[in-house]
Amino acid sequence: MKASVEWVNGLTYLAWGDSRHYTIVDYSDDKDKQKGSSPTELMLQSMLACTAPDIVSILKKMKEPIQGLVVNAVGTRATEHPKVFTDIEIEYIVRGNVKQESLDKAIALSQEKYCHISITFKRAGVNIKVSSKIIKE
């Protein structure tokens, strides 16, 4: 796997990888002027984009009637540089008449076996706490 980043101007960079899909990365502290996600935001987004498909796939294999999924995260970082993540709270919100036991199993499989990004965070010492909610349809 390869990745590249090119400076555009100011605090804005263009990132891409083997897929040739582009992402705008911006370090600006002024959210109104920011042209893309910060690298730190991308880390959390990547973790969520890694675990979400696991949940959908596992629940579908379990024949659970999942109709929607939103995954949210809140990351806490150290106050001193390099300001690494110390804790991350992940919330899975599933729509559909899914059994809680099935959702719990899907989350455990994703967090312990399949989502390599979550596992990488854990191996780096980040405390990951998960919660879930089912919105019955």
Backbone φ and ψ of 78, nearest 5°: -60, 150
Is residue 109 domain-shared with residue 126, that is, in the same domain?
Answer: yes
Q: What was the pLDDT predicted at 64?
A: 98
How far, in Å, are 30, 65, 72 from residue 92 at the CA level?
A: 29, 16, 7
CA dihedral 69, 127, 83, 50 (to 10 degrees): -30
Instruction: Round to whole Å and give the CA distance between 77 and 85.
Output: 4
How far, in Å, are 35, 77, 83, 115, 137 from residue 104 at the CA level?
A: 37, 27, 31, 15, 19
Residue 104's CATH number: 3.30.300.20
The helix or strand, by DSSP H or E, that contains position 60, with its residue range, turns out to be helix 39-61
Model pTM score:
0.92
Q: What was the pLDDT predicted at 137?
A: 83
Is residue 11 domain-shared with residue 31, that is, in the same domain?
Answer: yes
How many domains, in total, are found in the chain?
2
Residue-wise pLDDT tens digits, 57-114: 999 999 999 999 999 999 999 999 999 999 999 999 999 999 999 999 999 999 999 9
Q: What was the pLDDT predicted at 31?
A: 84
Is residue 75 domain-shared with residue 109, that is, in the same domain?
Answer: yes
Q: With 0-12 CB in 10 A as exposed, 13-18 as middle and 19+ as buried, what is 115? A: buried
Structural domain including 20 reads 1-37
